[in-house]
A and B are shown apart, each in its own frame.
Chain A
Amino acid sequence: MDSLEAATRKDTVEDRTRYLRKVSFLQHASDQVLESIATVMQFEIAPAGHEIVKKGDHGDTMYFVAGGAVRVHDGDTNLTTLGSGDMFGEIAALSPKPRTASITAEVDCALYSINQQLLYEVFDREPGAARSIIQGLCEHESNFAHEVSERTAQIHKFEAEMEIGRRIQKGFLPSMPLEVPGWCIDSYFRAAREVAGDFFDYFEVRSCGAMAIVLGDVCDKGVGAALFMTLFRSLIRSNAQSFDFTSDGNASTSSPTYDQVLGQTVRIVNQYVAGTHANDSMFATLFFALINPKTGELAYINAGHEAACLIAKDGEIRRLDSTGPVVGLFAEAKYGVENARMGEGEVLLVFSDGISEAKNELDQEFGDEQVVESLRNKTSAEEAVSSLVAATVDFAGTAKQFDDMTVIAVERHNL
């Protein structure tokens, strides 16, 4: 700092004029104009970390960077870095507008400053000064417009990539109905962003003659959650269906129990993610059920997920609570398997916390009780899903959707 200050303080008007000649903003100014500015500008030292201007403040001083580097930022978002020969603060110095960004010294910096009054005095003395400054501003504006155009193109490219990601991710959700006589499934899925951390799935597990119903919610949102969503969904399906085949690829003749399929699948998925991706600390809550379509017998693991709802014919709602911790964090986790039975005309509905924790404009939460209320006396999967979704959307009103919203319901028909 001392050497920087000493070196710059020794400069003469001639040295300063030579410096200003290298400032692109002043490239149209005559030697006389540059000398006039050099005569009145002040030397300043900004120590590393010092906020030289603050966004929103009113100021009347513009600066030239003579040495070091400054960071242009909006809060924690860095916009660019400026170095020797660059200039900042001209908008506030030449207009009544407040500062449009904050500027902080990245290292110890040498600056030249000139305030509005001194600048206007130069304009009065030197007829060419205002014209050269206007030319400099116009070029600055033109460069800025070019930069905005380039950034807009980058954003469009990024949005196109996200759209591809969204379409690929959609392929991880089931699109065909599960054709099981006497049963039907309905679902609802609305991502909070382009890509989601929620997923649902249904498929057959032939080895034990069951249909599988899955709803998972990966923590966090956006691309990271979406990548893990595809991992969890694929691991669950492939491990559960691995029981269908022998090691040489033929159909398996052994028939595992529901407990074995559920327990082994969740254990393998949990240990794989907790072991391989330990440093990411990513996890999913999961509801995974196997249902015997002939008898309605149901076995499930609820890994830290919202309690599912089993809607009985008489309107009673039984909750299928957590039987173990979240999946993907703790390799030593144990998961219990619980059992239930679905009679004819009964509905099993599973939802994600994007439903129960949906917020309205007053930041109030929809809540689990409202979920249950909206499901009372619903006797079909379609009716239950549409009633719950309508109640949630109605409650949220115009509030921005905060989390992915997913519902899946399975119904055993009346025969």
Chain B
Amino acid sequence: MSGELQITVLTDAGNEHVTVLHLKGSLDSNTHKELESKADELIAGGTKNFVVELTDIEYMGSAGLRALHGMLNGVKGSGGAVKLLKPSDQVARVFKTLGFDQFFEIFDSVEEALASF
């Protein structure tokens, strides 16, 4: 199970303190480094609040979950947060089974997600 990952960075989604990452494709052992590099770059540039949109993620493997945890670790020290937006059914199931839904806030709309910071 592997594929491509496309990452779109939106800094003008409606809250200047929050960067929205739209992910598309597969977040797995072949693609997780792309998310990690992008997040590291943004965090190094001062970003501390993220909304990660997961609607178009078709497959999430454990490497993807580790990447999201790494983002959370990266912003926690500066009081930042990583919140998730509209996970697909497969991703929502994985989050629930592994208990990730207890540690990441999950939203159904970008407006709600942005307003929660």
Contact = CB atoms under 8 A, between A and B. Distances in A.
A285 B63 CA distance: 14
A182 to B, nearest CB: 34
Interface in B100-116: 100, 102-103
A281 B99 contact: no
Nearest to A357: B1
- Chain A contact residues (Cβ within 8 angstroms of B): what range? 10 to 19
Contact of A220 (B29, B97, B98, B102): B29
B73 A326 contact: no
Contact of B70 (A220, A281, A325): A281
A304 B62 contact: no
A325 B66 contact: no
Given A220-B29, A279-B73, A281-B73, A326 B98 contact: yes
B66 A219 contact: yes
Interface string A304-328: 1000000000000000001011100
Contacts of A281: 66-67, 69-70, 73
Interface in A256-301: 278-279, 281-283, 285
- Chain B contact residues (Cβ within 8 angstroms of A): what range? 10 to 19
Nearest to A278: B73
B27 to A, nearest CB: 14
Interface in B14-56: 29
Contacts of B103: 325, 329-330, 333
Nearest to B98: A304
Contacts of B1: 363
A324 B62 contact: no
Contacts of B29: 220
A217 to B, nearest CB: 9
A326 B63 contact: no
A283 B72 CA distance: 15
Interface of A: 219-220, 278-279, 281-283, 285, 303-304, 322, 324-326, 329-330, 333, 363
Interface of B: 1, 29, 62-63, 65-67, 69-70, 73, 97-100, 102-103
9 contacts: A219-B63, A220-B66, A281-B66, A281-B69, A283-B65, A285-B98, A303-B99, A329-B69, A333-B99
